Structures are given as structure tokens and as C-alpha cells.
Structure 1
């Protein structure tokens, strides 16, 4: 069998596939987030323990020899490790907002734009650059003790293989220090962020991706393991999104819009990022919005509803949610795509005593759909669109998204990230797999023409409301 490991923000998963791409089994374990006053951290020992646990449970369920394993996981954040890959301090999540004042300052003095023009990546509080700069000011001792500042999957790869030092890949290195033209670190960016003295903490970029042998934690000792792309490009690979112009929408904790491209445009409004892939010259134009299923989770909790009720609630409120509008920007660090606005917060509009919980839920789902449409347009979508992620498990929400986006959706079921991790590993080792069969969509959802026309008008209203909210966030 082939095993894909996906170390997510709140859930760690391992999936087994046969040679034809059929998903055989999945094991998952939740991992916690420690939220305190804008700080969002994770226990690395808990995360690594969850990886070992899901791999052991998967092997017990599908006792076939493991031919190959691939690794992916959450991107951004900051995972400080010693020379053995063990934690120096708790990991800082990509959801962390402590570096917001630094990003605000860089927005004001031109540093933010200067970095974007060099790398194609728009800084946000939870990406490695601001987090390193924050630690350099507030916890310099932690940086002094660390051997490397890596991404989540890089820590896991080093621990699973027992590698002598940390290594990363071009996708995780893309934000914010990689020059997308040379596929190597841009020391000028480190200087712009005041981090030239911390250059040693950046792990070497393995290009092609690093490969090693498992040392026996969860995976059988000797199993070939590849440190693949992080979760966004891994999902794109698992969904078959490789042709220029084709796109993927991941409806997860983060609402990520990705479009495959062979071009590189460092002009325009600084937002999103270019993610380098394993093929030089091929990139993903990524607009990974902070808004996502976390916004819906908050509204469901607030209204006392559960996820199992979502389809019924959406059916109980008409398109337009009886005038209720939600700007679903709930993240404490604001928004990062398709614009950067650290001070932006969610807004509920048009609510009255006659509004129902169903109206609030539907308005939130519609608001997330409009945010997705905004991101996909900014990313340059011209071709087919695939969708995956936890949000697509709701048939009603998937139909709503097709209507709001006004285009057919190729629905990818199962573990797209883990599937992409395996395909990346197969490419790295020259193992021939039928990529078309591995990436075949489960089905396609087409928009209703009348509802799509209705949402065309509502999208313009969403953009107007958003402009007002952004001005308020900037000027109070």
C-alpha cells in the first residue's frame, strides 16, 4: 500500500491507498491549539505523538507492506527545533496574531510591499518572517537555542527519519524568504525584516524534495518517506490541478484558492503568494484566506446548532438569507487574501428580531462563498475548478458554493492532501502511478442558472460592504 500523512492544524491523518488510487482506510487524531490573548501555539510532542499513533492504527487496519509514504502538513507558523528535531519552545501556529503590530509597521513604511515585489508573497502575522522578528524582539533566547526554524511537516520528517539536520522544501520555503525565480533564499528579504543575523535558522531547501527511510515510529523501519509539499499544494496535486488556469478551492479551516500558473506577476496589489512546486517554472498562485470553516463553526456554536444540522438549516432559509449579510472575517489576525488587512473583523448586517438561526447560518455560508469568489478571481482562475475539504461534505453547502461561484465544481472526496503527498513521493522516487485515476473527481456539481444570476448581483454588494469594512479597519 501507499501511505499519505497529513499533519493538519487541528487533526492529524494518515490514509492508505492501493496502486490504483483507491483509498483503503483513514486514521485521524485531533490535536489541540492553545489560544491566549492573540497567541496560538501547539505542543510539538502532542503533534508528533498523534502522527505515530495514526500510522500505527493504520498499519493495524491495513496490514499490507508499505511501498512508499509521503508527508504533508499545515504551512506557515514557526516550529523551532534543536539539532534532533525536538522542540525548543511550543510551535507558533499560522493563526497567531502577536506579530500584527510588526506587519502594520511594515505596511506603513513600505517594507511589506518591498518584500512582495521580491518574492510574490504578502506578509501576514502568522507567517515565518513576522514570527521570527517577533521572537527576535521578545524571546531572543529561544532563537539562540534553536538549530532551525521549520514548518510542521519538516519537524515530523526529521523525527520520523532520524535525519541529522532539518530540511524543508520549495513550497514551505516560498513564504516569505524564497526568490521564486531562483528557488533559493533571498538574503535581501532577511535584511528588510531585520533578520540577517538569524539567517542560520533557515533550513536548507531540498529541490527535489528530501527523501529518507523511516526509523520505525509508526511506519515500518526502512520505509521510503518523502518530505513533500505542504497541504495547499499537496491538495492541488491530489485534485489533479496542474494545468495552467485550473484551480482548486479548499473549504477547510483556511479557505484556500489556488490556481496553477507558469507566469510570475509581482505587480498589482500585494496579496497572497506564489507557491513553488516540484516542477521548475510551474507555480500555484495562492490566495489562502483566513476565513473558512472556522467562521461557520463559530456561528453554529453561537446559535446552538451542530454540523449535522447544516443541510437542514440551509434549506430553511432562502437565497439572500432574508436580508442578513455576514462578512465572515473572524480570524484574530484579520485577513491575508486576496488583500492584507490585519485589523479587519467580521460583521453581521441586516439582523432583526425576525431573523432566524438558519438565516445567520446561510448568510455565513454565502459570505464565505463570496470571499472564495473574490480570491479565485484575484488568483486568475480561467479553467476548471475542483473543490475539497471538510466544507464539501455538506451537499447543500457545495450546491450553494456552485451557485455563488457561478461555475461547475469538480468535487474531490477523501483525503486530497494525503493523496497528493503520495503522488509527490511517487514522482520523487520514479514510481509509476496512473495520475488520472488517482485524481478522478467523485462527481461534479453544476450551478442553478437563476440562483447564479441572483448571486452575481449579491457579489457586487459583498464587495461594496467589504470596501467599507476595510476603510473602517484602517481608520476606525
Structure 2
């Protein structure tokens, strides 16, 4: 069998596949997030324990030899580890907002733009550059003790294989220090961010992805394991999105819009990033928005509704949600795509005593759809569009997304990230798998022409409301502020 490991933000999963791509079994374990005044941290030890637990449970359920395994996981944030891959402090999540004030200053003084013009990646509070700069100011001793500042999957790979040094891959390295032309670190970016003296913390880049043998924890000793790509790029591979112009929308905690490109445009508004892939010259123009299912989770919890009721709630309100509008920017670190606005917060408009829970829920789903349309346009979508993620489990929301986006959707269900991790590992080890069979869509969803026309007008109104909200969110220049962590 082939095993894909997907270390998500709130859920760790391992999936077993046969050679045709059929799922044999899936094991999952939740992991916690610690939120405190805008800081969002994770216990790296808990995350690693969840990885080994799902792997042990999976291999016990499917007692077949493991031919190879691929690893993917959440990106960004900072996972400080020692030489053995053990945590030096709690991991800081990509959702963290403590560097908000620092990014505000860099937006004002041109640093964000200067970095984007070099790398194609726009800084946001939860990306490694601002977080390392914040730690350098507030917790320098942690950086002094650390051997490397890695991403989540890199910590897991080092510990599963017992590798003597930290290593990442070009996809995780893409933000924010990688020059996408040379596929190596740009020391000029480190200078711009005041991190030149911390250069030693950047892990080696495996290009192609690093490989190693499992040491016996979770996977049988000797199992070939490949590190990467990280979850956005793995999902694109697992959804069969590999042709220039084609796109993928991941409806998850992060609402990620990805478009395959062979170009590199470092102009325009600094936003999103270019994710380098294992094919030199091919990149993903990524707009990973902070809005996503987390916004819907909050609205459902606030209204007392359950996830199982989502389809019924969407059916219980008309298009336009009885006049209710939701700008779904609920993240404590603001928004990062298709623009960077750390101070942006959600708006609920048109709410009255007559507003029903169904109106709020549908307006939130519509608002997330408008945000996705904005991101896909900015990413340059010209071809087909695949969609995956937890949000696609709702047939009603998937139909709504097709209407809001005004285009057909290729729905790819199941463990898409884990599939991509296996396909990447197979490529790295020279194992031939039928990628077409592995990535065949589950169903196709076409938009309704009348509703699509209605939502095209609604999208224009969304952009007008968003412009006003962004203007209100912008601070004046001043001293660097932000949360101090937990």
C-alpha cells in the first residue's frame, strides 16, 4: 500500500491507498490550537504524537507492506526545533496575529512591496518572516537555542526519519525567503527584514523533495518517505491540477485559490505568493485567504446551528440572504489574499430583528464565495476549476459556490492532500502510478445561469463594500505594536 500523511492545522490524517488510488483506510486525530489575545500556538509534541498515532492505527488496520509514504502539512508559521527536531518553544501557527503591528509598519514603509518584488510573496503576520522578526525582538533567547526554524511537516519528517539536520522543500521555502528564479534563499530579503544574523536558522532546501527512511515510529522501519510538498501544492497535485491556467479552490480552514503558471509577474499589488513546485519553471500562483470554513464555524456556533444542518439552512434563505451581507474576515490577523490588510475585520450588514439564522449562514457562505472569486481572478484563472476541502461535503454549498463563481466545478473528494503527497513521493522514488486514475473528479457541478447572473451583480457590490472596509482598517504609521503572545 501507499500512505499519505497530511498534518493539518486542526486535524492530522493518514490515508492508505492501493496502486489504483482506491482508499483502503483513513485514520485521523484532532490537535489543539491555543488562542490568546491574537496569538495562535500549537504544541509540537501533541502534533507529532498524533502523527505516530494515526500511522500506527492505519498500519494495524491494513496489514499490507508499505511501499512508500508521502508527507504534507500546513504551511507558514514558525516551528522552532533543536538539532534532533524537538521543539524549543510552542509552534506559532500561520493564523497568529502577534506580528500585526510589524507588518503594518512594513506596509507603510515599503518593505512588504520590496520583498514581493524580489520573491513574489506578500508578507502577512503569520508568515515566517514577520514571526521570526517578532521573536528576534521579543524572545531572542528562543532563536539562540534553536537549530532551525521549520514548517510543520519538516519537523515531522526529521523526527520520523531521525535525520541529522532540518530540511524543507521548495514549496514550503517559497514564503518568504525563496527567489523563485534561482530556487534558493535570497539573502537580500533577510537583510530587508533585519534577519541576516539569523540566516543559520533557515533549513536546507530539498530540491527535489528530500527523502529518508522511517526509523520505526508510526511507520515500519525502512519505509521510504518523501518530505513534501506542503498542503496547498499537494492538494493541487492530488486534484490533478497541473496544466497552466487551470485552478484549484480549497474550501478549508484556509480558503486557498491556486492557479498553475509558467510565468512570474512581480508587479501589481503585493498579495499571495508563488509556490515553487518539483517541476522547475512551473509554479502555483497562490491566493490563500484567511477566510474559510473557520468563518462559517463561528457563525454556526453563534447561531446555535450544527454543521449537519448546513444544507437545510442554505435552502431556507433565498439568494441574497434577505438583504444580509457578510464580509467574512474573521481572522485575528486580518487578511493576506488577494491583498494584505492585517487590521481588517468582519462586517455583518443588513441585520435586523427579522434576520433568521438561515440568512446569516447563507450570507456567510455567499461572502466566502465572493472572496474566492476575488482570489481566483487575482491568481489569473483561465482554465478549468477543481474544488476540494471540507466545505465540499455540503452539496448545497458546492452548488452555491458554482453559482457565485459563475463556472463549472470539478469536485474532487476524499483525502486530496494525502493523495498529492503520495503522487509526489512516487515521482521522487520513480514509482509509476496512473495520476489520471488517482485524481479523477467525484462529480461535476454546473452553475445555474440565472443565479450566476444575480451573483455577478452581488460580486460587484461585494467589492465596493470591501473597499470601504479596507479603508477603515488601515492604521496610521506609528510604533510597532501587537500582541505579546500567551
TM-score clears 0.5: yes
Find the aligned partners of 2:52 and 2:316 in 1 and give their Cα distance: 43
Partner-residue secondary structure (3-state), 2:474: helix
Q: For residue 53 of structure 1, give the secondary structure of its aligned residue in structure 2.
A: helix
Displacement of 1:61 after TM fit? 1.1
Partner residue of 1:435? 435
Q: How does 1:23-38 map to 2 (within 5 A)?
A: 23-38=23-38
The residue aligned with 2:93 is: 93
2:51 and 2:348 map into 1 onto residues whose CA distance is 39
Distance 2:192 2:474 in 1: 24
**Residue of structure 1 equivalent to 2:484:** none
- Pairing 1:310-325 to 2, within 5 Å after superposition: 310-325=310-325
Provide Cα deviations, 1:399-451, integer angstroms capped at 9, x if missing partner: 00000000000000101000000000000000000011011000101001110
Q: Quote the Cα distance in structure 2 between the aligned partners of 1:138 and 1:62.
A: 47
CA distance in 2, matches of 1:305, 1:296: 11
Equivalent residue, structure 2, for 1:233: 233
What pairs up with 1:267-286 in 2 under 5 angstroms? Answer: 267-286=267-286
What is the alpha-carbon distance in structure 2 between the residues aligned to residue 61 and residue 308 of structure 1?
28
* Aligned-partner Cα distance in 1 for 2:350–2:44: 43
Alignment coverage as a number of residue pairs = 476
User: What is the CA-CA distance between 1:25 and the residue it aligns to?
Assistant: 1.0
C-alpha separation between the residues in 1 aligned to 2:109 and 2:356?
Answer: 45
Secondary structure in 2 aligned to 1:5?
strand
1:379 corresponds in structure 2 to 379
**Cα deviation 1:240-289 (Å, max 9, x = unaligned):** 00100000000000000000000000000000000000000000000000
Corresponding residue of 2:468: 468
Find the residue that maps to 1:217 and give its secondary structure. coil
Distance in 1 between residues matched to 2:23 and 2:456, nearest whole Å:
37
Find the counterpart in structure 2 of residue 40 from structure 1.
Answer: 40
Match of 1:117 in 2: 117
Residues in 2 aligned to 1:335 and 1:475: alpha-carbon distance in whole angstroms:
14
Aligned counterpart, 1:215: 215
Report the secondary structure of 1:70's partner residue.
strand
Could you tell me which residue of structure 2 aligns to residue 388 of structure 1?
388
Say whether residues 1:244 and 2:244 are aligned partners.
yes
Task: Check whether the contact 2:104–2:475 (CA below 8 A) recurs between aligned residues.
Answer: no
Structure-2 residue corresponding to 1:188: 188
Q: Secondary structure of 2:460's partner?
A: helix
Q: Is there any run of 5+ residues in structure 1 with no aligned partner, and where?
A: none
Instruction: Indicate whether 1:6 and 2:9 are aligned.
Output: no
Structure 1 distance, partners of 2:206, 2:16, is 26
Is the partner of 1:295 in helix, strand or coil? helix
Q: Compute the TM-score of the two structures, normalised by the length of structure 2.
A: 0.98
Which residue of the partner structure matches residue 165 of structure 1?
165
Q: Which runs of 4+ in 1 moved over 3 A?
A: none
Distance 1:420 1:439 in 2: 9
SS of 2:126's equivalent in the other structure is coil
Structure 1 residue 352 corresponds to structure 2 residue 352? yes
Q: How big is the alpha-carbon RMSD for the aligned residues of Structure 1 and Structure 2?
A: 0.6
Q: 2:204 maps to what in 1?
A: 204
The answer for the alignment partner of 1:55 in structure 2 is 55
- Secondary structure, counterpart of 2:4 in structure 1: strand
Cα deviation, residue 475, structure 1: 5.3
Asked whether 1:73 is paired with 2:76, we answer no
Contact 2:343–2:475 under 8 Å retained in 1 = no
Residues 372-414 of structure 1, C-alpha deviations (whole Å, 9 max, x = no match):
0000000000000000000000000000000000000000010
How far apart are the structure 1 equivalents of 2:305 and 2:106? 41
CA contact (8 A) 2:249 2:255 kept: yes
Alignment correspondent of 1:153 = 153
